[in-house]
A and B are shown apart, each in its own frame.
Chain A
Amino acid sequence: MLQILQDYGILLLVGQFPDGPIGGLALTLFIAISGLLCSFPIAILVGVARTSQIKVIYYPVSALVHAIRGLPALLIIFWAYFIIPLVLGRTISGIATVICALVVYEIAFMGEVVRAGVESIPKGQVEAARSLGMSYFKTLHRIILPQALYQMIPSILNQFINLIKNTSLGYIISVNELTYSAYQVNSQLLIRPFEVYFLLALIYFLLCWSLGLLIFQIEKRIKIHRQISTRSI
């Protein structure tokens, strides 16, 4: 296994970079982070819409969330692969396709995280802000979201872990991310699939596990913070 790491470690890490396109773990992280950054603002809109009292906002967005949640991420990648060129009238790169598909997939789940966060803010906060004459949007912007987003950090990171693992689905449309790189290594070696895929598993595991540790630390801090803020009431 060490031999594999020695021969193909760089390939697994960054693909052909800098001589060729970037790939491997670096691309996996690039897709995951772009996916997170693009889906997050949309997820806030979706999550807030899911708490709306206005039916023409609530129902369509809820239908969208339910539809996306009911589909495998792989299926959405397939769809994106075929539909995006039709809509745009030109082909886009596999990387962009995967990012688009994962963003669609994530806004449903992250949107629910946002909804839960918004709903966890006590009603009194909204009433206090509205009583001062602040509009719904100002209340959202100044009072609800700052508190909700802080509490949501662990759930968002949890979603990020999912996102990282889902980037492996890019393999199906030949995006040169970590899983695809491992697949290539395996095809070159032919006789050592167990070691190659164990190595692949190990990389994913270490990445996600360390993020899990980070979540645990953040949760601890938030818990302390909460205890302080409820102590005197």
Chain B
Amino acid sequence: MISFENVDKWYGNYQALNQINETVGKGEVVVICGPSGSGKSTLIRTINRLEPINAGRITVNGIDIHDKSVNVNRLRSEIGFVFQQFNLFPHLSVLRNIMLAPMDVHHVSKIEAKEHAILLLEKVGLANKAEAFPAQLSGGQQQRVAIARALAMNPPVMLFDEPTSSLDPEMVTEVLQVMKQLAHEGMTMICVTHEMGFAREVADRILFLDEGVVLERATPENFFTQPQHKRAKKFIADIRHA
């Protein structure tokens, strides 16, 4: 469904991604982890063209996303993206946050958008917060709304960029719960996260990234119990002791 072929990305003289070759199939859940600055966020952000690449090819459903014929807005509307900082629209109510893109991009009627939004809020357990504003919600609630907002476009794939990293510990679970549910429903997901429990439970594959290179590619069980690369070993030891 998503494939990387020899993808390189440079920030000036610094190489952020180095010869990435990877394929993610439909319904797969892939977790990307690695130390800070390893390029994992950059990698996930290249998929919806939030970050341009310098060399190589990325295809989504067989279509080269950098092809001239590709409408970037259309491409993005079919890829859900969840940010570390939630990025809810603070001037809009929770319901409006979710309804906005379907109405503006897919030209869904207001009634339909609202019905769908309420359904999604029920799914993430926040039906009672429809009229609240983002500022009135906790971090965990905001992130669940952000997930609902992304789901409102009915994307076949969801990308998560450290969705729980800026949350207080007690709010991490509620967000992971929603993500696990999505994974069990068969959503194709790529998640940048260090949540080992989540990775163990739902990930099909873990990619370990360091300095823009995929150093290790393994099932969660193998990755956490017998990492091969010495930097992966150190990384796992570090997050265990954190």
Residue with the highest number of chain A CB atoms closer than 10 Å, among B75, B76, B142, B153: B76
Q: Which of A26-34, A88-96, A122-130 contacts B (4 or more CB under 8 A)?
A: A122-130
B74 touching A133 by the CB < 8 A rule?
yes
A160–B150 Cα gap in the complex (Å)? 41
A132 touching B74 by the CB < 8 A rule?
no
B104 touching A233 by the CB < 8 A rule?
no
Residue A56 is within 8 A (CB to CB) of chain B in the complex: no
Residue A188 is within 8 A (CB to CB) of chain B in the complex: no
B89 touching A132 by the CB < 8 A rule?
no
A133 touching B134 by the CB < 8 A rule?
no
Residue B237 is within 8 A (CB to CB) of chain A in the complex: no
21 A-B residue pairs with Cβ-Cβ distance under 8 Å, sorted by A, are A122-B87, A125-B87, A127-B83, A127-B87, A128-B81, A128-B89, A131-B48, A131-B50, A131-B76, A132-B149, A133-B73, A133-B101, A133-B153, A134-B104, A146-B91, A147-B91, A150-B91, A229-B135, A230-B135, A232-B135, A232-B142
Q: Which B residue sits closest to A147, measured CB to CB? A: B91
Nearest CB on B from A133, distance (A): 3
Residue numbers in A under 8 Å from B137 (CB-CB) = 232
Complex interface residues of chain B between 141 and 199 (CB less than 8 A to chain A) = 142, 146, 149-150, 153, 166
| Range class of the A interface residue count | 20 to 34
Nearest CB on B from A127, distance (A): 6
A135 touching B73 by the CB < 8 A rule?
yes
Residue with the highest number of chain B CB atoms closer than 10 Å, among A124, A129, A133: A133
B77 touching A124 by the CB < 8 A rule?
no
A150–B91 Cα gap in the complex (Å)? 10
Nearest CB on B from A166, distance (A): 32
Given A132-B76, A232-B142, CB of A142 within 8 Å of CB of B100: yes
Q: Which A residue sits closest to B45, measured CB to CB? A: A127
Residue B105 is within 8 A (CB to CB) of chain A in the complex: yes
B50 touching A127 by the CB < 8 A rule?
yes
Known: A127-B83, A133-B74, A233-B86. 8 other contacts (CB 8 A): A125-B89, A130-B50, A134-B100, A147-B90, A229-B133, A232-B142, A233-B139, A233-B142
Residue with the highest number of chain A CB atoms closer than 10 Å, among B100, B134, B150, B166: B100
Residue numbers in B under 8 Å from A135 (CB-CB) = 73
Nearest CB on B from A171, distance (A): 42
Residue A228 is within 8 A (CB to CB) of chain B in the complex: yes
Nearest CB on A from B162, distance (A): 13
